[in-house]
Structure 1
Amino acid sequence: MNALVWYVIMKWMPKGSSCVDFVTQRSLYEVRKRPSKSYSWVAFMLANICAELPWNTLMSVFIFFGWYYPIGLYHNAEPTGAVTERGALLFLLIWSFVMFTSTFTHMIIASVDVAENGGNIATLQFSLTILFCGVLVSPSKLPGFWIFMYRVSPFTYLVDAMLSVSLANALAFCSSVEVSVFDPPSGQTCGQYLSACTSIAGGSLSDVNATSQCEFCAIMDTNAFLSQVNSYYDHRWRNFGLMWAYVAFNVCAALFPYWFGRVPKSAKKN
């Protein structure tokens, strides 16, 4: 699952071509439209940002239907009868992700003169959000100083939501290499020997009445696995809302640098 999330993220990483298109349009605006006062810089910036949103929304549909159903993630929602809700929420998460990548690109390139420099900055910052989101390195293994990157990275909350919505509340089964095999003390069954352990830590036995070759699986459901990677189903809507907070931040962070660095300021009268 982590590999799939990583693939989707990498496919939608901001590319230099988006920066080139914006820089070209910005040059035309600043040379022709702004001197003639055809429209304001706010209209120019918002038009560039909003023009990409319908296209990205369409791409969200293709990503969702080409990923969610073919690999059968909807089966994990069937035991709780939440197939529709979880499918819809996962689509919304993908949608918020592509909205984020689009507005993130505009935030970076808004006040940068050279498209290639903007592309390099965007790639570097986008890579940092991925590196510190908890997928490649868990929060417990991050140096103390860098834990703030885990908390501010938008993909901390995106990956948390996508993993939990895709996998939560379903039974889990160990493969043959994940099963622990051992013999209980003489005179005890496997169930009797591990009853205290399983009541506290969970897990399941293939045959509780066996007196030898106990086969123990430490995980009974997907929630146990998700808790190990700091992903919780209860956080799903909170994480979705946080993604849109990042989108709003990107838009504001695109407008302010452009106004501060590229919009002519009226000279004060003496």
Structure 2
Amino acid sequence: MVTIENLFIAAYAPNALFASLANPLVIGILVSFCGVMVPYAEINVFWRYWMYYLNPFNYLMGSMLVFTVWDTDVRCTQSELAIFDLPANSTCEQYLSTYLETLGSAADLLNPSATAHSYGLVYLMMKLRTKASKKAE
């Protein structure tokens, strides 16, 4: 697939060898800042306010998600779900209420009234992790 970035590199490159070496570097940088590999909220503030919006991959990924996935009914299999324990005397819905009102507004909580050994989507668990647990090995 030929993208606008490939055309810019080809136009600037003095020869094919230089273009073939520069292209992966440029594409790698653009993919790193488009919000897929690193979510927007996790991108360093310096890069977030200019590189994210100048990045053509950001708009490519956004259009692919909006027009192909947004209104699609997703059914996860048992192996795609994660098990997590809740704090004492709370339900899944109570525990996840803040997330479900903000970032997870389109999420489908499978068992909101469960009180023990509840199931949740893997993505949901990744969002709930604390910064300290993300650094743990």
Range class of TM-score, shorter chain: 0.5 to 0.7
Residue 154 of structure 1: CA displacement?
Answer: 0.9
Sort the Cα spacing of 1:174 and 1:213 in 2 relative to 1 into closer, same or farther, 3 A.
farther
Counterpart Cα distance in 2 of 1:144 and 1:196? 27
* Structure 1 residue 155: Cα displacement: 0.9
TM-score if structure 1 supplies the norm length?
A: 0.32
Kindly state the Cα deviation for residue 158 of structure 1 after the two structures are TM-superposed: 1.3
Q: Pick closer, same or farther for the CA change 1:184–1:153 going to 2, 3 Å.
A: same
Give the superposition deviation at 1:134: 1.5
Inter-CA distance 197–137: structure 2 relative to 1 (3 Å threshold):
closer
Counterpart residue number, 2:109: 204
Mark the CA change 1:144 to 1:114 in structure 2 (over 3 Å): closer, same or farther.
same
Unaligned runs of at least 5 residues, structure 2: 128-137
List aligned pairs for 1:17-166, cutoff 5 A: 98=2, 101=3, 103-147=4-48, 148-166=50-68
Partner of 1:180: 84
Amino acid of the structure 1 residue aligned with 2:109:
S
1:112–1:173 distance in 2 versus 1, CA, 3 Å: closer
1:215 is matched with which residue: 109, 118, 127? 118
Of Structure 1 and Structure 2, the greater helix share is in 1
Q: Contact 1:179/1:215 (CA < 8 Å) preserved in 2?
A: yes
Letter in 2 for 1:204: L
Contact 1:180/1:216 (CA < 8 Å) preserved in 2?
Answer: yes
**What one-letter code is carried by the residue in structure 2 that aligns with 1:149?**
M
Aligned residues: 116
Question: Following the alignment from structure 2 to structure 1, what is the Cα–Cα distance between the partners of residues 25 and 96?
Answer: 50
Percentage identity across aligned positions?
22
Distance 1:110 1:178, change over 3 A: same
For residues 104 and 175 of structure 1, do their structure 2 counterparts lie closer, same or farther at Cα, with a shift above 3 Å needed?
A: same
Structure 1 counterpart SS, 2:82:
coil
Label 1:195 to 1:119 Cα distance change in 2 as closer, same or farther (>3 A).
closer
Which protein has the larger Cα radius of gyration, Structure 1 or Structure 2?
1
- Given the superposition, is the C-alpha separation of residues 181 and 172 from structure 1 closer, same or farther in structure 2, using an over 3 Å criterion? farther
Greater RCO structure (CA 8 Å; 6+ sep): 1
Query: RMSD value over aligned CA atoms?
Result: 4.1
CA distance in 2, matches of 1:135, 1:143: 14
Residue of structure 2 in register with 1:246 after alignment = none
CA displacement 1:166-216 (0-9 Å, x = unmatched): 43232554746524345874xx9x59x849949x646635384x7x63635
